[in-house]
A and B are shown apart, each in its own frame.
Chain A
Amino acid sequence: MKPLLALLRRDINLFFRSGGGAGQAIGFYLVVIILFPFGVGPDINLLARISIGVLWVVLLLAILLSAERIFADDLEDGSLTLLLTAGPLPELVILVKLIAHWVSIALPLLLITPFLALMLNLPAGGLIPLIICMSIGSLGLCALATIGASILVSIRRANQIISLLILPLYIPILIFGVSATSDMTYQVEKPYTSLLILLGITLISLIIAPFASAQALKANL
């Protein structure tokens, strides 16, 4: 347990210190959401209607565009070899790296979402459902990003290819993420059905990701 905690601390520390990781994702998220209302125009009702979808798509892209960083740096300086052979189970090492990625990329995005939601005129009462659904969905996205990153670990600047590779896998998260958020926001009948499916997809991704990534990394080292 102690080695894994040390790894979690180091990875989070690295993400914030080197700037390229968390900073880049936050910058992307911020710029796109700020530009969006200017591009769509001053139609408040239109903005309110598309706000949930826009926030979700941009969150998803921000997470995927930083996927490469999960393993690339560690591969380059040889840390990955040491991390995987030093004792702790590779699957657990990957799970820790996945959580570190979520904490350093997704969590900051979730924290600034309330302010950006104002820009898009998110419907009243939509903020709490949005944050809940995004927290769950982003964890699933990080898991899928980890799988993509490990398969393409030996390719440099692989962000776009990773996104393309796992495209079919993250569409369900987007669909049920958006519908769970709208269902809870507009208080439809049975508002939690989509949320449960989203939760299910996330849990399955979280369970599969460490095993799939461990195999992929073994083949790539």
Chain B
Amino acid sequence: MKINRINIQNLSAQKGERLLFEDIGFELKAGQCLLLKGPNGSGKTTLLHMLAGADQPRSGDIDIYTISSGDQPRLDGVIGISHFITHQDGLKKSLTVLENLTFWTEYMGGDKDRIDTALATVGLEPMPHILAARLSAGQKKRLMLARLLTISHPLWLLDEPSVSLDDDGQKLLTKLMQEHISAGGILIASTHLPLGIEFDQTLNLTGGRYMFNDDYLLEEENI
């Protein structure tokens, strides 16, 4: 599947009493990438969660236009089109490297023939039968990156992807991101460290504010 463009309008997020961001919007076309910036707690991860379909916005729309959906936004929304890489690795400690990768590849509809090359690319080919519990933080990150290779999803959502990677790992990440973009994929990344690629757009989340009773009263009046 290929995404033509992603359109985000008036998106707001709320966590408890706190309004993380309000009325943000952007549009990305195939082959473009966006950098998310902002202080801790400004909602970068929440925004990525929403784009992955794991969190519901307080208001606003996320519209995905694919080739098959034409002028209409995709009916399934963001489900099943993205890779979401966060500090939560989704790896099972009691399964081996190979079993972990094979499971996610099968589950996300990837190509099992690519597993060997993917492991070689991320530098884990000497240890396919090691339990994931034995991997270092950097090796776990590399295993997550292998998922990007076995499953072709058009949208990559990367939350601080370079954390715990060594120099070689960061170069590998840069290379993977460049290849993804030049193949017409879309990339949205949040980071505090340089990732080595030129971003087309930058979105600054300035940090949210607490909601007070007045806000709720205003809302009720509007309804």
Contacts and interface: CB of A to CB of B under 8 A. Distances in A.
Interface of A: 2-3, 6-7, 9-10, 13-14, 17-18, 73, 77-79, 81-88, 218, 221
Which 7 residue pairs spanning A and B have beta carbons closest together? A78-B88, A87-B80, A6-B106, A85-B53, A81-B54, A3-B107, A79-B90
Contact of B92 (A2, A6, A14, A84): A14
Given A6-B103, A6-B106, A10-B103, A81 B52 contact: yes
Contact of B80 (A10, A13, A18, A86): A86
A78 B107 contact: no
Contact of B78 (A14, A79, A82, A85): A85
B18 to A, nearest CB: 18
A81 B79 CA distance: 11
B52 A77 contact: no
Contact of A82 (B55, B90, B94, B99): B90
B4 to A, nearest CB: 20
Nearest to A89: B79
B135 interface: no
A78 B104 CA distance: 13
B92 A87 contact: no
Interface of B: 49, 52-56, 78-80, 82, 84, 86, 88-95, 99, 103-104, 106-109
B48 to A, nearest CB: 11
Contact of B95 (A2, A13, A81, A221): A13
B103 A81 contact: no
19 contacts: A6-B107, A9-B103, A10-B99, A18-B93, A18-B94, A78-B89, A81-B52, A81-B88, A82-B104, A83-B107, A85-B52, A85-B80, A85-B82, A85-B84, A86-B79, A86-B80, A87-B108, A88-B107, A221-B54
A86 B52 CA distance: 9
Contact of B54 (A7, A9, A18, A85): A85
